[in-house]
Structure 1
């Protein structure tokens, strides 16, 4: 190989193909990756120097041209554009410039834990709504931006695929391909010939259903990325044929000792001891031996604490109180609402119970095991649907239950219970309950149809009154129903009752994308109510649009209630209070049994521990207890309505006693684990200053708003106001053609509604505007953003010169005995205060001077004279820039070391400046009284 004339290091400025470029991190001696001087990462190219017609040479950045001077507003525009184009920022968190979320301090804890591990193996088991997706995304993005991984796969249940895909793109600027049973064939067809999937799509979100088949599973294992995130990881560790295949898949992925593995679950211990330790064994096979060893002093358990984090909301609230963070979670205000099975509706309920007793007695007389299972199923299905709504009752009564399935299969039908956690989309159909075409059955159907509506349905009446109060109080409720028919029934009657409100129903009939669109379509409504089945209790975040939850149908598992409420009461909820209401029949025996024996126990556990511990699985025992409760007679029907406390659930409770004991045991074990896994020893407040420092260096929300408004005015397309003060509208059709084409490439050709509370610096809209203005400043004859200016202002009392500098640093570190080298960039303001005895300033004061208020203009010849004098002065003092560059490199190293010490990070760091420093702007401020 020919020896090159130069070794170009990351951060060096070079000239090639007639323009200037910045050498990027991935470059080698014989192969350069280059980014245009005024461009961004998307415009990088690769070239081989020895094959170029003209040699690649070191370049220097030209000083500003005094003849192209602008005003001070244009100078500030350039400063903002420079900051907002930075992606490889100079702080210790490499990912900051590429994320569109401002994490709270506690969400940095898993990231700090990850930095401590040579190979990241983490189980993040934070409570529902704390932000596990953000915590995992931060880790993955940081590893990618450090160059430690180049490919990422997220494995999740099918209904979460689209959510993960959008979260990765919107929050972390990672464009992911979705691999599902429906999309995989299309994705593979679109691959260039001979290009492997993960080379073309370095980031993928994979449905766990897609890799069930042996062919897909083997192909994925053979080519899997270096970093894997597994959401709802508990569904991959418990028993069952499909779940066993999932666990084997994760075992094989984890067998690669260098693969990063991040497991996410809000319910790591669901009462299944073996499943819990299966999950831990994926972090390290040694951890399986911890089963039965509860001592917190056990060295192996202490080692596990480095890989396992579990925080309750209470933990977060306590930390925020200590640090005065001031941005805690919303207060979750819970209440209960009851209705009576009175009048015609009560008579109908009693008639259904009588019908079910007849079915049970018939089955007992016939004495066939299959017949008994069929009748049990019909009884539970019918009584659950009747308790839900007349519409669900009609659906169950008119759908024939065939006897071809075994009793075991029938009673494990998830339509009868609350649905599998990883397949809620297909389990909100009403279960069939028609087993014979008797005249009584027809009478029941007719009664259910006749009793539909607010007049005869006491449950619906109670809901309408409650929703009306919520709307009057300014809340936006989500009403959760168990079945599709109920959701449509409720939505229809709510629309009639509240014609001025926007009301919609979302069920498993819709695809995930259709559900998402229907939710987003409600954003403009001043008053909105969403009616949904549990297809929305996981998968789509509702905290930005809704502030209340109503459980119209009781779930039979307390975990489902927590999941429903957690869609609204979660990270990102802006309301100070979220209202949660549980609606139940005060004289309905099924509601009473579920409430007293299951939900109340779940609430007590959650209150004691701070997180939900799921009810242990035992469908046969639960079904038997529910049947006993369902057939209990409502005594004293003609007298005053009875309260749930007056039911005697003695026999059903005794049936569930073994499960209650298991549940209590799971609670005790979870409490013992918490003392090790709460991660109180890691203090995110120690590194929050570094995070906030990077935010200031790269641009805050206020900087983004000022920049975009100013840029649009200068580009001849002022933003238009809307009814909402925090929102404005951009009409891209009036922008310069080059910028319009770039926006169109990002799917931003149509008018854009801009929400200042959500628009982050890393949004493509901000980046493209900043890039366009920066390129314009470097090349246009009359630039919109000025590299030089001279201004009169009352904000200085002596002549002051500001130099806007772009510094690049070479950051080197070693992890797992492997060296990594990266480039970091930052924009710094250097001020020279006075001329007879000049004082050099590099601090917040220098930065604030850039935001001074001009008070007058100078003649053009005076402007050029002042700028030339300022450029000559800097050229006469080159040591100042060299000293500044070294000081900034030392500061950056100290920042990295502070974060490293807080995280007990592994690895060695060094930082060196890239010289010469780029002088991006020269601005002279003269006192107005001169």
Structure 2
């Protein structure tokens, strides 16, 4: 039975992270609350003696969860030095309080270990816009702009907003580790990587009947693994806060990929699709992608709503105004394109003559006896242009297909194939002209055993990859490990190992020979700026994808793109083949003028482009008719181009107060200061040596680094990371944390440049960013010790006793819509824009001193219920604007649903509409569950005058 957000029951519980609840005769601190079919799933940390520090989860529909009344909070005088306990409790509570989804300012994503650019920040703001009741977006930026960084930023903000507890990332298998690495090193988001090794580890832990996705909250897995039937069945019973699907253009059509997407889309609130080539030229395929994001955005007739596109799709390219203003010297311009045209050898000329006269341009007809008679000869031609072994493989594969029992027509074909096989074998045994030219070029650019120079060589044929690997090792006198190949036949672990090794300066690899599996998603630019097309793809999109592996943001050396093309003496064949150079030229022109080569042909599909070019060659049509120049498409009425030209960024407006993170509240000077204070308080030992049942703690202030030895419960939070990383870097024994970006970036560079045998990109020192699991762990330990529905009383800069409160407006799903900070003093209420502003006004900062305990706090007890009641009344008025805005957006969504259903009524005979109508009705239930539901006011602090 599917459990999805649409099926989630409305909750009657008034709880939020930081609240105290009683369950099963024990007190618990709420760390997260998320909607399910059984009501809220409340995740907690134990406070009572028997459950202290225990982590658990309770369903509202299965357990009696009783929130403690904030009006009954007890006052407690803080006697700690500098009011450390007060500051720790406030800081930890504020960190655990979710921001509203539509909060205008980015909170944590810009404080991570990445140089976020303005165009990336605008993409995140659009995904989190207050106009979106839930984040659903297609990141369609062209190759090289940093979609992975945008994904990490969006996920970081969702986590900070309490909407990123359970996250699933689906990628091609060769970029699994790359994605895991970026999420951890840049954004401090630990994900378990379920590649073949990770899955085997899960199978050892869980019975075969158990849902593997119940074991981990955040998972990265390949699309090839996930689309298997047994995993689909598990996914139907699993819901997520966010799902990311990379290279999402592979989701359309009647495929297992599409079946996977249709299971995931309704079972997640946030859905992020990423693809540099989202439009494949077929209206219905593109509509299918948009429908995954929002079913009502596609009419029953299959038309995509243009306004929905503007809301759901983000598309920029290298030369978009907002991009080119910022990339600067972090993205070097390409060098002039190089074409190396190579005259065929006599043996290769003999093959070309045979192909031209017998197969491509025969006097009678091609000897090919199968279907698509006109296309197979061009398949042979493509193999010939790739390499002699590639042609020999294609010929022999066809001979095997014919078998032993043949027709007369097939006998004729077999005879022709045998003759071609003999010629191909002769050319294989001789010297390849193109290989000779490649070797000379590689020597020219400095590829050698003792050199640091590197090159990426692309070819479509696996036979060519293996042949090049063997021949280049021989001709360049390179060691075996200096020439590696990458193709889809390798296991996921083998593919990841090659990709990650090539990124390191210490890697032995000097020549990476790869198929088009590496043309999507792989970053190869950190150590390489030379790329060679050993054969030319018959697709502009594929050329652009290949070039984007080294021509991307972060490339500081001008990338050099070089093509090799074999030119036989047969004039007809040679003439047709030379037009292929025009494809590379056209891609280069489009790259500079449009930033997107796909718009030239308007097919938006590698397969469609290849077919169009094949047809033009087969029929002898001019290639310019199929592949126009930039100037020729100026007046094109292509709908996708029209969308791109009409694209406008919408800037959301903040509607609520800001819940400050550490470093902005003024309570602590830095995250490291907060962590050190938390450890000192929790373990009650000297700050510089927290042994004796605590943790060892060392500060290297001159190096911007701290060290600690993780406790068992902290180790548990980190075990999802790669075991090799944890063991090699000894993370679970001695965790090194960089407290400055400079130190953290240096650690990343050291890992890339490490010349040791270990060869790992994972740094030994990790950046202590605001979402780091160590800070979460420290905050939970603080709240478990101090958070018993008690409110600290301190002295401050006030004239009368003053209560500081945090107010939240939430929906029926338990999600925060708006927040507000107020103080109540003498019956007067005062709002603040942020916690930092309120605390500064009250005189509570990191430099605060404690003159001594506040006596007779019992006399102040009546302040709490009066302040809570006053704050709730104030919230009902002041958050009405946010509530009205939420109701407006729910109504607009509901109207779209009603309009869609009404329109579909005229098409009831169409069988495909049944499932779509069901999905649209689910949208209605989702929208209604997001209506404002209840207010909660929690007292945070009581401040009395200094002389009290």
TM-score range, shorter chain: 0.5 to 0.7
Residues 765 and 892 of structure 1: is their aligned pair in 2 closer, same or farther, counting only changes over 3 Å? farther
- Counterpart mapping for 1:594-673 below 5 A: 594-613=579-598, 615=601, 616=603, 617=608, 622-623=613-614, 652-654=620-622, 656=623, 659-660=626-627, 672-673=639-640
Give the Å deviation of 1:447. Answer: 1.6
Q: Is the 8 A contact 1:179 1:187 kept in 2?
A: no
Which residue number corresponds to residue 20 of structure 2?
13
Q: Structure 2 regions of 5+ residues with no counterpart?
A: 1-11, 404-415, 569-573, 680-686, 739-743, 746-765, 826-834, 894-929
Give the Å deviation of 1:289. Answer: 4.9
Distance in 1 between residues matched to 2:713 and 2:229, nearest whole Å: 49
Q: Structure 1 regions of 5+ residues with no counterpart?
A: 1-5, 238-242, 292-299, 407-432, 628-650, 780-786, 791-797, 814-818, 833-839, 855-862, 926-930
Distance in 1 between residues matched to 2:477 and 2:502, nearest whole Å: 18
Which residue number corresponds to residue 353 of structure 1?
352
Give the Å deviation of 1:584. Answer: 2.9
Find the residue that maps to 1:341 and give its secondary structure.
strand
Q: Is the 8 A contact 1:809 1:913 kept in 2?
A: yes
Find the residue that maps to 1:582 and give its secondary structure.
strand
Q: Is the 8 A contact 1:613 1:666 kept in 2?
A: no
Q: Is the 8 A contact 2:806 2:820 kept in 1?
A: no
Which residue number corresponds to residue 107 of structure 1?
123
Which residue number corresponds to residue 141 of structure 2?
126
Residues 898 and 259 of structure 1: is their aligned pair in 2 closer, same or farther, counting only changes over 3 Å? closer
- Counterpart mapping for 1:247-258 below 5 A: 249=259
Residues 176 and 826 of structure 1: is their aligned pair in 2 closer, same or farther, counting only changes over 3 Å? farther
Which residue number corresponds to residue 548 of structure 1?
529
Among 287, 308, 315, the residue aligned to 1:311: 315
Residues 335 and 691 of structure 1: is their aligned pair in 2 closer, same or farther, counting only changes over 3 Å? farther
Task: State whether structure 2 residue 808 is matched by structure 1 residue 810.
Answer: yes
Task: State whether structure 2 residue 405 is matched by structure 1 residue 404.
Answer: no
TM-score (norm 2): 0.62
Deviations, residues 725-755 of structure 1 (Å, cap 9, x unaligned): 88x795x6x5556655665587786413757
Distance in 1 between residues matched to 2:554 and 2:322, nearest whole Å: 19
Give the Å deviation of 1:542. Answer: 1.7
Which residue number corresponds to residue 919 of structure 2?
none
Find the residue that maps to 2:401 and give its secondary structure.
coil
- Counterpart mapping for 1:150-161 below 5 A: none
Distance in 2 between residues matched to 1:585 and 1:893, nearest whole Å: 67
Distance in 2 between residues matched to 1:575 and 1:843, nearest whole Å: 45
Residues 465 and 691 of structure 1: is their aligned pair in 2 closer, same or farther, counting only changes over 3 Å? farther
Which residue number corresponds to residue 244 of structure 1?
254
Which residue number corresponds to residue 906 of structure 2?
none
Deviations, residues 878-909 of structure 1 (Å, cap 9, x unaligned): 58987997899799959968997999997765
Deviations, residues 362-410 of structure 1 (Å, cap 9, x unaligned): 9767863428779825742442223xxx8x569749966425269xxxx
Task: State whether structure 2 residue 515 is matched by structure 1 residue 534.
Answer: yes
Give the Å deviation of 1:63. Answer: 3.5
Task: State whether structure 2 residue 336 is matched by structure 1 residue 335.
Answer: yes
Find the residue that maps to 1:915 and give its secondary structure.
strand
Distance in 2 between residues matched to 1:501 and 1:729, nearest whole Å: 37
Distance in 2 between residues matched to 1:671 and 1:488, nearest whole Å: 41
Distance in 2 between residues matched to 1:490 and 1:317, nearest whole Å: 41
Once structures 1 and 2 are overlaid, which stretch shifts more, 538-547 or 162-171?
A: 162-171
Residues 600 and 234 of structure 1: is their aligned pair in 2 closer, same or farther, counting only changes over 3 Å? same
Which residue number corresponds to residue 445 of structure 1?
428
Task: State whether structure 2 residue 938 is matched by structure 1 residue 915.
Answer: yes
Which residue number corresponds to residue 295 of structure 1?
none
Task: State whether structure 2 residue 381 is matched by structure 1 residue 380.
Answer: yes
Distance in 2 between residues matched to 1:180 and 1:621, nearest whole Å: 38
Question: Cα RMSD over matched residues?
Answer: 6.8
Task: State whether structure 2 residue 482 is matched by structure 1 residue 518.
Answer: no
Distance in 2 between residues matched to 1:729 and 1:318, nearest whole Å: 38
Deviations, residues 127-162 of structure 1 (Å, cap 9, x unaligned): 234455666777788889878999877777676777
Distance in 2 between residues matched to 1:40 and 1:107, nearest whole Å: 42
Which residue number corresponds to residue 418 of structure 1?
none
- Counterpart mapping for 1:769-780 below 5 A: 769-772=778-781
Once structures 1 and 2 are overlaid, which stretch shifts more, 217-226 or 376-385?
A: 217-226
Q: Is the 8 A contact 2:551 2:559 kept in 1?
A: no
Task: State whether structure 2 residue 96 is matched by structure 1 residue 86.
Answer: yes
Give the Å deviation of 1:612. Answer: 2.9
Q: Is the 8 A contact 2:188 2:773 kept in 1?
A: no
Deviations, residues 136-194 of structure 1 (Å, cap 9, x unaligned): 7777888898789998777776767777777788869586796999969987994685x
Give the Å deviation of 1:559. Answer: 1.0
Q: Is the 8 A contact 1:83 1:699 kept in 2?
A: no
Residues 893 and 461 of structure 1: is their aligned pair in 2 closer, same or farther, counting only changes over 3 Å? farther
Give the Å deviation of 1:660. Answer: 3.8
Deviations, residues 547-590 of structure 1 (Å, cap 9, x unaligned): 635133233212123223434555xx445566242333496748
Q: Is the 8 A contact 1:179 1:204 kept in 2?
A: no
Give the Å deviation of 1:482. Answer: 3.8
Give the Å deviation of 1:259. Answer: 8.6
Among 547, 558, 561, the residue aligned to 2:543: 561
TM-score (norm 1): 0.63
Residues 821 and 327 of structure 1: is their aligned pair in 2 closer, same or farther, counting only changes over 3 Å? farther
Distance in 2 between residues matched to 1:923 and 1:593, nearest whole Å: 86
Residues 37 and 155 of structure 1: is their aligned pair in 2 closer, same or farther, counting only changes over 3 Å? closer
Find the residue that maps to 2:29 and give its secondary structure.
strand
Distance in 1 between residues matched to 2:52 and 2:469, nearest whole Å: 49
Give the Å deviation of 1:106. Answer: 1.9
Which residue number corresponds to residue 131 of structure 2?
116
Distance in 2 between residues matched to 1:705 and 1:206, nearest whole Å: 33
- Counterpart mapping for 1:41-120 below 5 A: 43-46=55-58, 60=73, 63=76, 66=79, 69=80, 78=88, 82=92, 86=96, 88-89=98-99, 92-93=102-103, 104-112=120-128, 115-116=130-131
Residues 150 and 551 of structure 1: is their aligned pair in 2 closer, same or farther, counting only changes over 3 Å? same
Residues 850 and 517 of structure 1: is their aligned pair in 2 closer, same or farther, counting only changes over 3 Å? farther
Which residue number corresponds to residue 583 of structure 1?
563
Which residue number corresponds to residue 858 of structure 1?
none
Among 441, 444, 469, the residue aligned to 1:462: 441
Find the residue that maps to 1:370 and give its secondary structure.
coil
Distance in 1 between residues matched to 2:143 and 2:533, nearest whole Å: 21
Give the Å deviation of 1:489. Answer: 6.5
Which residue number corresponds to residue 835 of structure 1?
none
Distance in 2 between residues matched to 1:244 and 1:899, nearest whole Å: 39
Q: Is the 8 A contact 2:700 2:706 kept in 1?
A: yes
Which residue number corresponds to residue 578 of structure 2?
593
Find the residue that maps to 1:244 and give its secondary structure.
coil
Distance in 2 between residues matched to 1:64 and 1:111, nearest whole Å: 44
- Counterpart mapping for 1:201-280 below 5 A: 231-237=246-252, 243-245=253-255, 249=259, 264-273=274-283, 275-276=285-286
Give the Å deviation of 1:626. Answer: 5.4
Deviations, residues 700-749 of structure 1 (Å, cap 9, x unaligned): 99944666689795547466999x988x795x6x5556655665587786
Find the residue that maps to 2:430 and give its secondary structure.
helix
Q: Is the 8 A contact 1:230 1:263 kept in 2?
A: yes
Give the Å deviation of 1:125. Answer: 3.4
Aligned length: 793
Q: Is the 8 A contact 1:124 1:264 kept in 2?
A: yes
Distance in 2 between residues matched to 1:50 and 1:397, nearest whole Å: 63
Among 744, 769, 777, the residue aligned to 1:768: 777
Among 814, 819, 824, the residue aligned to 1:821: 814
